[in-house]
Structure 1
Amino acid sequence: MDLDAVRTFVAAADAGQFQEAAAALSITQQAVSKRIAALEQDLDVRLFTRTARGAQLTIDGQAFLPHARELLRVEARADASVRPGRRALRIDVLSRRIAPAVLLQDFHRAHPQIELDVVTLDADVHGATAAVEAGTIDATFHAVTVPAGQLPGALRAARVIDEHHEILVGPRHALANARVVTLAQLAEHRIWMPGMAVGSEWAAYYDELAAAFGLTIDVVGPVFGNEALLAEIADSAELATLAGERTRYLWPDSYDLRRIPVRDPAPVYPMSLIWRDDNRHPGLRKLRDYLDSRRADAPEGEVWLPTWGRTGRA
């Protein structure tokens, strides 16, 4: 069905005059007549009775009018669903616990007028960038281990998060009362991170960190979820785990878990926002500006970055 003809029918029904409908639509009266005639032919009914006083709806025209209005409302909603700035900005965060999700929530508080659709694709950097390239998401947060100029096609990346680390230990752990912990101290303790995905960019990061400082990072064991991990650590005098300083965890007060900054050097996990250069959603530009303004300063003292993160901001 020709939606321009439907729009013309509604305008004529509201105006009661083809001439007034033509003026409202900025077309000629002859064009109005042709569109109405074509619609009547398509529906095989008469929609108007022409009289000296104008155009009056027939009984079929009266029956069709509410459906015609709904067709135009559906058209408007369909158009708005894909127009840049009218649909929600769709961003992949990998996990709702980690720094990108925290920063997106802060962005939403600062810009509540920008509708967000926050998703977790459960994909590595290759799968997530493929989704950006295909246009199924507007952007994703991941570690980018190649220079930004080597990204395929229209993809662009900017390093927007340098996530510093903390260790998480229970009250009986030897480091429980420390104000800060060094990587040299951590080398004497078992760091438990069960279920780390082999071949992922974060596994590569922790492998390099462990090799550089002689850390023992144990990834063996079934994964029962973060709640079970926290319960095990709270009850252990030996287990510790590493977490980003903005990673969100909740646990009962009785666990008495301690989050302790790691320093000298402070390990940093660099994350980039990846998007398409031809994405015209106005919310994406605002998000990029916001993330750049929130880029955390490095902690005092020496900082350690993985090999692929030492070339400065992408």
Structure 2
Amino acid sequence: MDLDTVRTFVAAADAGQFQEAAAELAITQQAVSKRIAALERTLGVRLFTRTPRGAELTIDGQAFLPHARELLRAAGRAVASVLPGSRPLRVDVISSRVAPSGLMRDFHRAHPEIELDVVMLFDIEAALAAIRSGAIDASFRAVAAPGRPLPEDIASVRVLDEPLQLLTGPAHALASARSVTVAQLAGHRIWMPGLAPGTEWAAYYDDLAAGFGLTIEATGPNFGSDALLDTVADTPALATFMGGQTRLVWPAGHGLRRIPVTDPTPVYPHSLLWRRDNPHPALVTLRDHLAATATGHGAAGTWAPDWATGREGREGRVSRSRGGLRSGGSGG
């Protein structure tokens, strides 16, 4: 059903005259007559009776009028739902416990007036497809994984370098250390059952292990973070890595230790991805917020893979400067 004919019918019903309806709609009286006639043919009934005073609704016209009004209201709501800024900003944070989720909580506290839909997508390819289709507006990812450059219509900016920490149980050999160097981790078993092949975080830890001679194991089923914490707490031979801003809670009796890693400090590079032509105004606000609150990246004494800094490579890159070690490149 043509909404223009429905709109013309409602205008004519309200005005009681085709001429006044034509003036309201900025069309000719002949166009009003043609639209009403077309609608009557579609419905198979007469909607108006011509009178000396104008046009009166027939019984069928009176029955159709409230439904016609609802059709127009529904059309208006449909249009409003996709106008820029009229729908919630949809952002993928991968998981509720990781750093991007914290970044979005901070954004919500700073901009409570902006409606948000927070989603969690596991795979980067699914996230990219959702960005390109418009299903989501943005995603937090480590980019670009080796051999998988971003599509040209996807933009990215590095928003957070998250230092890694070593998590151990109370009986682990390093449990009492205030900090550990990457070199000290050689020979220790680091267990990370969540490293799914093909993910950007698996690529990150592959490069970290290769670059510093670490033993990172992804064996066994992944029963989630609670099971991982239970195992690390009870097994002196195992430790795991976690982001410094990852939010996990465990029983006090576990006695787990979070230990900073230094010389250099491995940092996990979080970037925000979005489609270049996305018009949502809240997306601009989010990017401005992240730019204003970011602590910077490429700090002295840190390490990140070359592919995360915009350079292909499997060894990672740490260069020296007068101020000490500095990770190379810039994200996004």
Q: Which has the larger displacement, 205-214 or 290-299? A: 290-299
Q: What CA deviation, in whole Å up to 9, does each residue of 1:125-153 have, x standing for no partner? A: x4432433343332222222379xx6433
User: 2: distance between equivalents of 1:51 and 1:302?
Assistant: 88
State the secondary structure of the residue aligned to 2:65. helix
The reply on whether 1:64 has 2:86 as its aligned counterpart is no
Please report how far the alpha carbon of residue 98 of structure 1 lies from its aligned counterpart in structure 2 after TM superposition.
Answer: 1.4
Contact (CA 8 Å) 1:195, 1:220: kept in 2 or not? Answer: no
How many residue pairs get aligned? The number is 311
| Secondary structure at 1:274 match in 2 | strand
Which of 304, 311, 314 in structure 1 is aligned with 2:329?
Answer: 311
Take 2:47 and 2:157, find their aligned partners in 1: how far apart are those partners? 58
Cα distance, 1:206 vs. partner? 0.9
| Matched AA of 1:152 | P
CA distance in 2, matches of 1:172, 1:65: 78
Q: Does 1:179 align with 2:197?
A: no
The one-letter amino acid of 2:279's match is R
Larger displacement relative to structure 2 (90-99 or 296-305): 296-305
Report the alpha carbon displacement of residue 242 of structure 1 after superposing the two structures with TM.
0.8
Regions of 4+ moved over 4 Å: 297-301
User: Contact 2:168 / 2:240 at 8 angstroms: preserved in 1?
Assistant: yes
Distance 1:159 1:94 in 2: 16
Matches within 5 A, 1:68-87: 68-87=68-87
- Deviation of the 1:74 alpha carbon: 2.2
- Report how far residue 303 of structure 1 moved: 0.9
Aligned to 2:104: 104
* 1:10 aligned onto 2:10: yes
- Segments of 5+ residues of structure 2 without an aligned counterpart are 310-327
Change (3 A) 1:280 1:299: closer
**Residue 191 of structure 1 pairs with residue 209 of structure 2:** no
The change in CA–CA distance for 1:30 and 1:207 in structure 2 (over 3 A counts) is: same
Aligned residue type for 2:21? A
Deviation at 1:27, TM superposition (A): 2.9
* Structure 1 pair 129–72 and aligned structure 2 pair: CA distance change class (3 A): same
What is the CA distance between 1:299 and its match in structure 2? 10
Secondary structure at the aligned position of 1:268 is classed as strand
Unaligned 5+ runs, structure 1 = none
State the Cα distance separating 1:3 from its structure 2 match.
0.1
**Structure 2 CA distance, aligned partners of 1:253 and 1:228?**
15
Q: Which residue of 2 aligns with 1:145?
A: 144
CA contact (8 A) 1:90 1:138 kept: yes
For the 8 Å contact 1:195–1:221, the answer to whether it is kept is no
SS at match of 1:172: coil
Partners of 1:234 and 1:256 in 2: how far apart? 7
> Partner amino acid for 1:37?
A
Q: Is 2:207 the partner of 1:208?
A: yes
* Cα pair 2:144 2:150 within 8 Å, conserved: no
User: What is the alpha-carbon distance in structure 2 between the residues aligned to residue 176 and residue 19 of structure 1?
Assistant: 87
Give the secondary-structure state (helix, strand or coil) at the position aligned to 1:269.
Answer: strand
Name the counterpart of 2:27.
27
Matched, 1:283 2:282: yes
Length-normalised TM-score, structure 2: 0.83
Change (3 A) 1:30 1:226: same
Structure 1 CA distance, aligned partners of 2:252 and 2:29?
76
What amino acid sits opposite 2:206 in the alignment? D
Say if 2:160 and 2:296, in contact at 8 Å, map to a contact too: no
Q: Which amino acid aligns with 1:11?
A: A
RMSD: 2.5
Taking structure 1 as the reference length, what is the TM-score of the superposition?
A: 0.88
**Greater mean alpha carbon deviation, residues 298-307 or residues 197-206:** 298-307
The one-letter amino acid of 1:312's match is S
Distance 2:172 2:73 in 1: 63
Give the match's secondary structure for 1:285: helix
Q: 1:263 to 1:300 in 2, by over 3 A?
A: farther
In structure 2, what residue type is equivalent to 1:71? L
